[in-house]
Structure 1
Amino acid sequence: MANNNIHEQIEKEREQARAVCSTEGATSADCAAAWDAVEELQAEAAHQQVKEPKNSFEKYCDDNPDAAECRIYDD
């Protein structure tokens, strides 16, 4: 589900970048910044796809965060 959300956000940013570039000009700093935002979201989407799948223990801890086995103690 999170993956769909990031793709929706990418599409929104693309539309915004196109709008900014059409009003400000293709060589404007605002246009470049808008497309940078699109590229950052695309990189994040690619990074999320590369993540390794969770093992059964990680899934268990996601479902049972209060379980003794899943507690994380700070030093």
Structure 2
Amino acid sequence: MSENIKELIEKEIEGARAACDTSGGSSQECAAAWDAVEELQAEAAHQREKGTGKTSLEAYCDSNPDADECRVYDN
């Protein structure tokens, strides 16, 4: 995950806290600000998944190279 998105998430969290302090915890502004934080966090998670470039089987085989599912046969 890039530093850029981490910084953006931190700024959005600060903004959400400020919005909730100003408008109240049950206000629409507060809810919208936290929605923005959640969207950025979801994007960060997506970027992390995309960055690995491995399928779940490849990741499993990296951790368990002797497993039957990970055997490679030459013809």
After TM superposition, the score normalised by the length of structure 1 is 0.66
Match of 1:26 in 2: 25
Q: Distance in 2 between matches of 1:3 and 1:35?
A: 21
Determine if the alignment matches structure 1 residue 7 to structure 2 residue 16. Answer: no
State which structure, 1 or 2, has the greater radius of gyration over its C-alpha atoms. 2
Q: Distance in 1 between matches of 2:43 and 2:30?
A: 20
Contiguous gaps of at least 5 residues in structure 1:
54-75
Q: Distance in 2 between matches of 1:39 and 1:19?
A: 16
Cα deviation, residue 17, structure 1? 0.3
Q: Distance in 2 between matches of 1:28 and 1:6?
A: 26
Determine if the alignment matches structure 1 residue 42 to structure 2 residue 44. Answer: no
Aligned length, in residue pairs = 53
Q: Distance in 2 between matches of 1:8 and 1:20?
A: 18
Contiguous gaps of at least 5 residues in structure 2:
54-75
After TM superposition, the score normalised by the length of structure 2 is 0.66
Q: Distance in 2 between matches of 1:3 and 1:50?
A: 13
Report which structure shows greater RCO (CA 8 Å, sep ≥6): 2
Percent of aligned positions that are identical? 65
Q: Distance in 1 between matches of 2:41 and 2:2?
A: 11
Cα deviation, residue 3, structure 1? 1.3
